[in-house]
Amino acid sequence: VSTTYDDALKGAITNGFKKAAAFWGVAREAYEGSIDPDSATQEEGAISPVKTRPAAKTSVMTHRDQETAKEAVSPPLAEKAPETPTGRLVCPECGQPTIIKGKEEWGGGWVCWKKEGGCGAKFDYDPSAKFRTDLPLGETEEYTSPEPTEEPQTDYQIAMDALSGALSMDDITTVFNDHYPALPKGAKGKFKMAFDRKKVALEKGGDDVPM
């Protein structure tokens, strides 16, 4: 049988392929269809595919999940009174939105402002807080509202009360001498006018002078 050079070359290539297939197992993979023809070049030959492990699923926490978890571990806060048109707190005694922070020189605390229509009640605690915040975590206790403390009377108010209770010329003279010197400059004029009206009324035989 005559054999050309090309036939001999083809036979050598075929035998080489068979040996390589037997050694590397390429023929089986080619038969099963697991070889990617694009992954092999003429120089490199067939390359067995590398099996990779599927990527593990990751759990992504959404913004809502984060907020829910934050609320679950956050300590309870004191409930605040709703906002009012004036922006001030509502007085638990008179129901008016006239609560303001008291000045430190007058004892601090909280005051229901009379000039804005309040009742003048004074509180040592924040009257808008429904629950105490000085208890251990997890424990809540509603406030037992203490009796509101009245604002201290001024020297002028004390003097006017004493003048109102005086029933004779001797009484109003004593009240005037006891209280007038200690009054502030602005209050002295008003007290003197009230004293004069009271004096005229007593001289006429009456004492029902409005103070």
Least Cα distance to 200 among 172, 165, 176 occurs for 172
Strands 122-123 and 99-101: unpaired
- Residue 14 CA to residue 22 CA, distance in Å, equals 12
Provide the pLDDT confidence category of residue 46 given band limits of 50, 70 and 90.
very low
Q: Among 56-70, 113-127, 161-175, name the one with the lowest average pLDDT.
A: 56-70
Reported as a single tens digit per residue, the pLDDT across 130-145 is 544 445 555 555 545 5
Q: Could you count the other beta carbons within 10 Å of the beta carbon of residue 20?
A: 14
Token pair recorded at residue 33: 């269809």
Q: Is 159 helix (H, G, I), strand (E, B) or coil?
A: helix
pTM beyond 0.75, yes or no: no
Mean pLDDT of 75-82: 54
> Higher confidence at residue 73 or residue 172?
172
* Cβ–Cβ < 8 Å for 128, 81: yes
At position 9, the amino acid (one-letter code) is L
Write the single-letter amino acid at 81.
A
Q: Tokens 């054999």, residue?
A: 3
Decide if pLDDT at 197 tops 80. Answer: yes
* Token digits of residue 159: 């003097």
> Which amino acid type is present at position 78?
A
Q: How large is the average pLDDT for residues 76-104? A: 68
Q: Long-range contacts: 186-190, Cβ < 8 Å, 24+?
A: 187/154, 187/155, 187/156, 187/159, 190/156
